[in-house]
Chain A
Amino acid sequence: MSEIDRVRWHCRRGMLELDLVLSRFMDAVYGALAESDRVAFSKLLEYPDNDLWDLVSARAEPEDLDVFEILKQVRAVAPKRAAG
């Protein structure tokens, strides 16, 4: 539990866009990830906020191939319709 909590906290960012997308990913996908994908996700979280947002919103592609696959999964998480 605490490891997931730690990763979830590292999804707390300075930009709201990232807070929303990353928390969506944590809720929908992270629990079922293989260990290697979890490592890759943690690596992705090391990117500075603006660079990470460019990657997530597909305005940039990563140079680091280790994060390439996990990034595809983050991009693919469907938006949640606002409740209400």
Chain B
Amino acid sequence: MGIPVRTFDAVVVGAGGAGLRAALQLAEADLRVAVLTKVFPTRSHTVAAQGGVAASLGNSEEDHWHWHMYDTVKGSDWLGDQDAIEFMCRKANEVVIELEHFGMPFDRTESGKIYQRPFGGHMSNFGEKPVSRACAAADRTGHAMLHALYQRNVRVHTQFFVEWMALDLIRDAEGAVLGVTAMEMETGEVCIFQSKATLFATGGSGRMYYSSTNAFINTGDGLGMTARAGLPIQDMEFFQFHPTGVYGAGILITEGVRGEGGVLRNASGERFMERYAPNAKDLASRDVVSRAMATEIKEGRGCGPNKDHVLLDLSHLDPKVIMQRLPGIREISMQFAGADPIKEPIPVVPTAHYQMGGIPTNYTGRVVAPRNGNPDAVVPGFYAAGECACASVHGANRLGTNSLLDLLVFGKAAGESVVEDIKALPKSPKDLPKDAADYSLARLARLDGQANGEGVHEVQLALRRAMQDHCGVFRFPDMLKQGVDKIMEVAGRVGRTEIKDKSKVFNTARIEALELDNLVEAAKATMVCAATRQESRGAQAREDFPERDDANWLKHTLWYRDGNRVDFRPVHLKPLTVETIELKKRVY
């Protein structure tokens, strides 16, 4: 075969918050662990998380994990698994205090406790009034978390493989996962990482949208590998959007701009929110504003040659107000839209932010896939945590500050599961199948040998446009139907991408082509599941099915690459110890 094989107890793919937290658990248990990462760990996308991490510490007022659980179930529009949500909310205090002991510089109260602030959707006493539950390190919570976790890993000699890209999962005839193939960017060499446990912490796939807040690295690599290995990915139709990202860039413009008097206008200059929300107008809730923007664009009243965005106009405000109250926004607009909001409007569009779906796991971080009538059958040797995973705690909609909590709790839990499972396994790993690397090598050979193909950037742009136009924040039946055809056509083009530069050493063109192979699987899953789910719930808002439909759709979608097929799994409505939080309409 000639492919080098490196053997470890565990391989973690991804070194953001979830990967680092998991790796720490493994290394502290004296397992031999390899962490593969495309970029240096502290440059992972976790660094962009500002808001904080939720935990019912009750440092400034009374709080309880059960209240946090209620908020999370309600936030999820009842699609979250209640066992996993109970588990996460109960574990929150422990993982946050642990992090404090790792050196995380949390903001503090005068008495020295971790300072907590309120955050949207977090309430006391089962939805009664807002509660201070978010723990933060100024506006750099994710950054501080990554640095604390990275230092801790260095201390226990976690072995990092920086600038390595995992290519494919290796499974045996029984379906167990035996490791991954991976490529070192420096040399272009492919290697097998054989392991008793493979843990994915590869982050989200937000780059599938034309307008996205996600960093370039978020290409859904774990989802692509999982789908190609014949395993399902879950609930991908649920993607969280912000109403106002800078068109063409994705940088967010805070809702505070509309609070200061900024108004949204369409191509004819009309202040269209007056039609959709006559009272609240531009200050209507986030989903109402997003849907109105999407409707204007869909009905041909968008701005620019492609009629694909609207304008956020501040030019009627006193320049002094803009300079004094919104200096950061002016800077962002000039830097990323080339527009000075004192003189001209900012082009904006609903912008993708967070993927609620992902690789289905149970609350211990073990990956599950239906088998022999068991919807929760564990895939031996395979684990996932963080944004790439779907435990599912966010269900149809994530609450702010629950994503950093998710990666801490399930990073640790998945690590603990690996430690426990490995104890029960024989000393030496299972034999690799003879053809373990063949699939990856064939993919690379296809790419190197492709003639008369298309450029990666061209195809990637077509993918992102198709997702933005057909599967955005507000979903129309005709657009979804065309969207499925369109994304399948794009998928065909992804299979024929061509790179001009065939060199082995640090070939970023090849890496981007491989990333696109992953992104397209996540995009297909998102489009197909959005078209399949005939209801509106959480982040899935359909024009033709405006209501939640628990009788027919209180279930997880599972998308399989083979046959582009959708299957379903029941939602776990039974928590671990408390009573089920009964279905209600989600109103705030």
Which A residues form the contact surface with B (CB < 8 A)? 1-2, 5-6, 8-9, 12-17, 19-21, 23, 48-50, 57, 78-84
Contact = CB atoms under 8 A, between A and B. Distances in A.
A17 B47 CA distance: 12
A57 B329 CA distance: 12
Q: Which of A23, A48, A57 has the most CB of B within 10 A?
A: A48
B506 A12 contact: no
Given A20-B249, A79-B336, A82-B347, A14 B508 contact: no
A69 to B, nearest CB: 20
Q: Give 6 closest A-B pairs by Cβ, nearest first.
A: A82-B248, A14-B47, A79-B338, A84-B306, A2-B505, A5-B506
B216 A12 contact: yes
Contacts of A57: 331, 335
Contacts of A20: 249, 251, 336
Contact of B143 (A21, A23, A48, A84): A48
Interface stretch (B37-45, B73-81, B426-434, B568-576): B37-45
Contact of A79 (B306, B334, B347): B334
Interface string B118-151: 0000000000000000000000101100110000
Contacts of B511: 9
Nearest to A14: B47
B338 A78 contact: yes
Given A5-B506, A79-B335, A84 B248 contact: yes
B215 A16 contact: yes
A53 to B, nearest CB: 10
B48 A16 contact: yes
Given A5-B508, A49-B47, A12 B335 contact: no
Contacts of B43: 12-14, 49
B506 A2 contact: yes
A45 to B, nearest CB: 10
A48 to B, nearest CB: 6
Nearest to A48: B42
A79 B501 CA distance: 28
Contacts of A17: 251, 335-336
Contacts of B304: 82, 84
Nearest to A20: B249
B169 to A, nearest CB: 24
Interface string B187-203: 00000000000000000
A49 B143 CA distance: 8
Contacts of A82: 247-249, 304, 337, 347
B220 to A, nearest CB: 15
Given A1-B501, A82-B337, A9 B185 contact: yes
Nearest to B48: A15
A27 to B, nearest CB: 12
Given A14-B215, A50-B140, A84-B306, A9 B508 contact: yes
Nearest to A9: B508
Contacts of A21: 335
Nearest to A80: B338
Contacts of A12: 38-39, 43, 215-217
Contacts of A9: 39, 163, 185, 506, 508, 511
Contacts of B305: 84
B250 interface: yes
Contacts of A23: 216
Count chain A CB atoms within 10 A of each CB in B163, B305, B335 and give the residue with the most.
B335
A81 to B, nearest CB: 5
B290 interface: no
Interface in B301-340: 304-306, 308, 331, 334-338
26 contacts: A2-B506, A5-B505, A5-B508, A6-B506, A9-B163, A9-B185, A9-B506, A13-B47, A14-B16, A14-B43, A14-B44, A14-B45, A14-B48, A14-B142, A15-B215, A16-B213, A16-B215, A20-B249, A48-B42, A48-B143, A50-B140, A78-B338, A81-B248, A81-B338, A82-B247, A82-B248
